[in-house]
Amino acid sequence: MPAPHRHGALRWTNYHGTESADLADLVELTNSTAESGRDALREVARDVLALLQQARAAGIHVRPLGSGWSPSPICIVDGGWLVETRRINRCFRLDSDDVASGVDASRLMLVQAGATVDEVNDSAEEMGLSLVTGGASNGQTLAGAAATGTHGSVLSAGGIQDHIRALQVVTPSGIFWVEPQQPLMTPGFVAHAGSTILRDDDVFAACLVAVGAMGFVTAMVIACEPIYMVRNIQKRARLTREHVTRLADGDFRVFSRELGLDEDPYFAQVILNPFDPFDKDALLRLLYRRAYDPAIPPPPRPLAGAGYDALTLIGKAMAGFDLFRADVLQLAMRAGYAVQRDVDDPEAVATWGNTTEPHNPIANLFNGSVTMARADLERAFDPLIEAFLSGGGGTVVTLRFMKRAAGLLAPARFDDNVVIDFDGPRSDVSHRSYRAVVARLDALGIRFTRHWGKTNDLDAARVAHDYGVDYHRFRAAQRRMMPDPGDLAVFGSDCLTHLGLI
């Protein structure tokens, strides 16, 4: 296979134009053309191993790079190497001979680390499968989305990393196949992929949301479900305090009966105007599971489904404003839902993969979120809104709901979670409002976490506080993965040092 392409020293900027770094080198991995997935994994991993060994010898820091989607500096490495994975993006079927006894291979996929969510969705559908959950957009690599704990709004599932059942991880000391203690793949498969088996529950859990601090992920085995479709309802509606109570209590069926269909929703999202959450329209998105029907044609992209993104809705509409008032924000929200799909519109049915959307870079965005136990939503609601407005109230407030996610450093760490997003235009108002929310939640004694890939104002002390025992388990797993401190140093960066993860 061709050697990685090296671009040399340059100034690099992330996808959304929010962060940049002066690189010593931008290295673009090339993919193997081998027909066998095991051969392809082995060849790519050997290239990565050689790069990491060169970096260690030269004292260079390395960061894996997917789509560069995160607005935060999580993948920044000034003076180091960014190693692009986007060309290592193939997806493979697995056979029963590849997996351990008792494992059903029919729902598993072998995915290279550079495959985007969109590419994984397409490959899954070709295999008669669907992902269970996902984030708002589809341009991120699946590995990168997992590494930052990207969440969805599926009421019965956790984060996108919950799909992962095994990972191929490269350090300067070797190529490792990381699984839980319960075997997934056969020793023959792992050896053919050029890897050494490492079965350890905590190491596996650490690698699921690794924030780039557990080595270089080159491939994953993910679990899917048989292909399904979703019915989409999107509408403007007035919320009441009783609706907030129902959401906090997890009474989604009752909430849906009043505002959508009389059935359990699969996905629920509420977008609020914080200046007047009960007397201005909220934007609702409810998805309901449906059996797969091949006769239903794919809708034109984008179908506004699970892939709804608050940034897409108001980012450009609100650009140029530094202080947003209720009526101005409501106009932007109405523009985003100019076309409504209510209960009398049965047409919006599509596969799960058709609910995620691409969107163009939005350099003026602000991303922030907090995740807390869903049960705390009711007592936090008014103080949170008041705090947000005290900073100026930079944008909409979005509520999403999900189960506990896998991974020691998964932000969705409560049994039932509400993720509260503050995504919108990049301004002092947005950031000041977000900081006010964080301070108010602390004052109320409400436990919460923050998204690794968004603006979060985290530091090492706060990370250790928020993740407690799981933080120490992560650091211990990290030492088992890379017992030689020189290996761990290769993955260092100012950001990871600041977060206490290196």
* Domain boundaries, given as residue ranges, for the chain: 5-226+476-498, 229-449
Q: What's the CA gap between 71 and 366, in Å, rounded?
A: 8
Upper half-sphere CA count for residue 158 (Cβ side, 13 Å): 19
8 A C-beta contact, residue 146 and residue 160: yes
Tokens representing 194 are 């050029």
* Helices and strands (DSSP H and E) totals, the chain: 14, 24
SS3 444: helix
Nearest to 336 by CA among 272, 269, 283: 283
> In 109-182, which residue ranges form alpha helices assigned H by DSSP?
117-126, 142-147
Q: What's the CA gap between 307 and 137, in Å, rounded?
A: 5
Encode the chain (502 residues) as per-residue pLDDT tens digits. Answer: 789 999 999 999 988 788 899 999 999 999 999 999 999 999 999 999 999 999 999 999 999 999 888 888 888 899 999 999 999 999 999 999 999 999 999 999 999 999 999 999 999 999 999 999 987 778 889 999 999 998 878 999 999 999 999 999 999 999 999 999 999 999 999 999 999 999 999 999 999 999 999 999 999 999 999 999 999 998 999 999 999 999 999 999 999 999 999 999 999 999 998 989 999 999 999 999 999 999 998 766 554 444 445 555 555 455 445 455 667 667 667 666 656 777 777 678 999 988 876 666 655 678 889 999 999 999 999 999 999 999 887 678 999 999 999 999 999 999 999 999 987 777 788 889 999 999 999 999 999 999 998 888 999 999 999 999 999 999 999 999 999 999 999 999 999 999 999 9
Just give the CATH number of 5-226+476-498: 3.30.465.10
| Best CATH choice for the domain 229-449 from the list 3.20.20.60, 3.40.50.300, 3.40.462.10, 3.90.10.10 | 3.40.462.10
Nearest to 83 by CA among 260, 218, 245: 218
Q: Which residues pair with 164 in a beta bridge?
A: 222
